[in-house]
Amino acid sequence: MRGEDYISIVTEMTARAYSGQRDVLRQASDAIARTVERKNNVFVFGCSHAGIIAEEVFYRTGGLAVINPIFFPAMMLNTRPITMTSSLERLPGLGKIILEKNSVGEGDLLILHSVSGRNAVPVEMAIEAKKRGVGTVCITNIAYSRSVTPRHPCGKRLFEVCDTVIDNMGDPGDAAVTVDGLPEKIGPTSTVVGAALINAIVIDAVNRMIEDGIVPPVLMSANLDGGDEHNARIFEEYKDNIFYM
């Protein structure tokens, strides 16, 4: 299998994950819309490469200005040594601290991305969020999660502790391409599929807000004429719901 096979795999996987979960995706988009309409806050978090989805969906042209990333520096890809991210995401107690230090409170919404769904930090964040009256949505790989043991002391994986569970329908281990003569698979799929799914969710949330008579706080490109002025108005109107400025 070669590069063109990867494109086919990712395209088919994305279509399958979207078409097979329309009701679940609608729940997620409705949760975002309701949270924004109430003037509560939306947060998104992922460890290491899973955190790329948090970067994808905030302060982004055509995206909602009120989606706030939770960035914990020691779990981002510029950490050195990078292996420290793998150690820290398994550490019980850390997820609670991260949640407490990021202004997440009752009525808010927390979106978590974890492909294996087994590590302590995202599981603990979901558990602690629900204790605080925070809604939870996760994007994960259920087949992958079911094939591994949980690492949080509660004995559960992410898909077992979230309100709304979105399956990226990838392969266990994430990589999906086999090459003759190589025992390991190559070509991870979770970033591509996850980015497509979360953008689709945001689009549907925007449509829901319009149906409800709300003008969605959608950002324009700062490189378009009028973009800076448009975005400045949104930042002012939603200054109490934006934590990355």
CA geometry: angle at 150 spanning 74 and 200, to 5°?
Answer: 70
Q: Which CATH superfamily is domain 3-241 in?
A: Glucose-6-phosphate isomerase like protein; domain 1 (3.40.50.10490)
Q: SS3 of 105, please?
A: coil
Q: What do you get for the CA distance between the two ends of the chain, in Å?
A: 45
Question: What's the pLDDT score for residue 158?
Answer: 98
Residue 151 structure tokens: 């690492």
pTM of this prediction?
A: 0.97
| 155-194 residue pLDDT tens | 999 999 999 999 999 999 999 999 999 999 999 999 999 9
- Is residue 168 a contact partner of residue 140, using CB atoms and an 8 Å limit? yes
Question: What's the pLDDT score for residue 60?
Answer: 95
| 17-32 residue pLDDT tens | 999 999 999 999 999 9
Q: Structural domain boundaries of the chain?
A: 3-241
Question: What's the pLDDT score for residue 132?
Answer: 97
Q: Which parts of the chain register pLDDT below 70?
A: none
